[in-house]
Amino acid sequence: MKLVLLFTCLVTLLMSGCSSFKQPSLRGLKSAHVTTFQSQADFDNYKEGMHQLHRYRESERRKQLLEHYSEGVEFIEVTGSRIASSDLSITNNQVDNVDEGGIIKFTGDYLIILRKGVIYSVKITENSHDILDAKSKVEINQPSWNQDVWYDELLVLKDTLLVLGYNYGLDASQLLRFNLGSQGEITYRDGILIKSDDYFSGSNFGSRIVNNKYLTYLPIELTSEYPSSHKASVLPQFAKITDEGFSALKWQSIIGVKDIYKPLDMQLSPILHTVIVCDPLTVNFDCGGTAVVASGESEYFVSNSAFYLSTPILHEERLTDFQYEGVQTQGVSRLLKLPHSGEVMGSALVKGKPRNQFSFMQSEGALHLLTVSEAHSTPEIKALLYKLSDVEFGQSSDSIVRPQREWSVETEYINNRFTNEWLVLGENLYGTYIENRHVEQLDSLSLTHLSRDEQLTFDLPHTVDRIEPIGDKLFVSGVNLQENYSVSIFNLAGSPSIDSEGVFDKFQEKEDISHAFNYQSVTDNYGIAGITALSKASLSEEMEDDLSIVYLGITSNESVSLAGQVKAKVNPQTFIDCEVSCSDWYGNARPFYIGNRVFALVGDVLIESRIIDDQVIELVRVDYVHDLQMH
């Protein structure tokens, strides 16, 4: 909505609510050491202190507007939202034995698919024989539920199917359980609603299975300078979904104030970062949780043993001093560790900020972390590599941990990934716009060893859009100056070097989410990488009937080859009158492997192929949406 106001109207508006507020004390708005709130009054006092700070800042803003503007002022209001591995995992997970919520999973003899608000089962084995047979489907939304909801993530544990969604009508996340029967039939079991903000990230995932427990991360706005009028500031509450649907929900607290850690740093718009853990195999779907108050600007990572959260630290004096542009950070981040065991939270300070969840790796009792300094905080941009042991996560220390290594980089816009021995960092030197690239070198890639003083840098003829460890090799892909999809394979054994390369001019990768890539080693010297792709001709329209899975053959010391391609070929007779969760926010295509079987989920179609003479040859496909629609 765009409103143009004359200055006289602005003055009237400002004066009408322009009572002066005394500068508040910032004491009590952060804790000097790790501790939880001790009572409801303690928690309420914190919220009231934040409200006083917000009122003061708004009062000062209005004064500055009156002092500085003498002409007509144009105001623009912008609103927006998304809407208005275990051995059996087929997902390209970041951490072994931590299965991330996705759109297709494998359990027993079945593949389970989450597609536009519907769960499908496809049987792939019967009496030890390979088959591909669509068996069952169920609408996730039950008849009495509202339809203002997105269903995004699927997980499976034995015959229990778990779906995570977000209900905009109730401002709540939905955690639902379904049963998978012996014949592939799917039935709704039960579910709960948890009041929260939208968990959707675009690159990270909201739910995981860790140690047979269901873990979900839910952010909740606690207080804000610009609060939403329709949201109440409450403790995390949940309600069981009964046969009466959403008409008779009984909300109750899922955690208490003593389960919430106080903020260790000042915030302007604090978020209650909430980690909910449920036992999906219990009768009552028992859930509990822990939360910490911290900045809304954050990155999180889930390992086998802990949940990690990184948030930047603000300059405290700038919270009440308005002679500056914005509330810039100090260039220091607070790293918080919440162990899955329930032990007390730990805290450490590091310079810079992690780029995303792939900036973290836990290995041999230590957390490896990459951060990059912000351009405003240092004369030159630095990359910093940390190795944090458990003892460095303390309860009250404000000293900054020294990095294991730091070096200059040309940009804070990076792509990063850890392997067992190396940190891999790609610098996006020229951004994402091909017209800005006027040199032969596009991006550079550096490999920094995690335990010895060794760093190698490679100039690449393409961007660094994807970095994937594949055994003792590294898969790096992007586009070159001609906008052709390009791949570089690094051999990490011994001294790392480029082992093979490939350039492809007919297609480009469609989805850059981690789950849209997968790799299978076929022999000691040959493997198949699967990516999602669109032909270059249809990139501007992203037509679903052009969607495909491309298989790339990777052989040491040979060019990366096109090993095969399977396309959707959407059935024109298939029409889904979609009413719930109709957009593919997490994508709709996945390559994956089960034993020597090669699969591709491509929209409404599931395709099985075989590797024959180093080529991926399609064997059979099932249009599972159409087939089950006809039943």
Of 235, 258, 281, the residue at which a domain comes to its end is: 258
Q: Which long-range contacts (C-beta less than 8 Å, at least 24 apart) are formed by 571-578?
A: 571/604, 571/623, 571/626, 573/626, 574/604, 574/623, 574/625, 574/626, 574/629, 576/116, 576/625, 576/629, 578/116, 578/117
Using DSSP's 3-state secondary structure scheme, residue 436 falls into helix
User: Are 90 and 64 within one domain?
Assistant: no
Structure confidence by residue, pLDDT tens digits, 438-456 = 444 578 899 999 999 999 9
Model confidence at 528, pLDDT cuts 50, 70, 90, reads very high
Question: What is the side-by-side strand order in the sheet with 422-427?
Answer: 414-418, 422-427, 443-449, 455-460
| 224 and 241 part of one domain | yes
CA distances for 580 relative to 134, 240, 318, 479, 590, angstroms = 22, 21, 44, 35, 22
Q: Which residues contact 433 (CB under 8 A, 6 or more apart)?
A: none
CA atoms of 54 and 46, how far apart (whole Å)? 13
Rounded Cα–Cα distance for residues 230 and 439 (Å): 51
Number of domains in the chain: 3
User: For 175-214, how does the pLDDT look when each residue is reduced to its tens digit (9 = 90+)?
Assistant: 999 999 999 999 999 999 999 888 887 789 999 999 999 9
Alpha-carbon distance of 100 to 90, in angstroms, equals: 10
Q: Are residues 62 and 200 in the same domain?
A: no
Nearest to 479 by CA among 434, 513, 444, 546: 434
Residues 239-251: pLDDT tens digits? 999 888 888 899 9
User: Quick one: 66 and 190 in the same domain?
Assistant: no
**196 falls within a domain:** yes
Structural domain includes residue 224: yes
Query: Residue 625 sits in which domain range?
Result: 514-631
What is the model's pTM? 0.89
Say yes or no: 68 and 176 in one domain. Answer: no
Please identify, among 213, 229, 258, the residue that sits at the C-terminal boundary of a domain. Answer: 258
Q: Based on the domain organization, do 72 and 90 belong to the same domain?
A: no
Tokens of 562: 């096109």
pLDDT of 375: 72
55 & 192 share domain: no
Specify the pLDDT at position 127. 92
Instruction: For residue 312, tell me if it sits in a domain.
Output: no
The per-residue pLDDT for 26 is: 74
Q: What are the residues facing 137 on neighbouring strands?
A: 120
Same domain, 100 and 240: yes
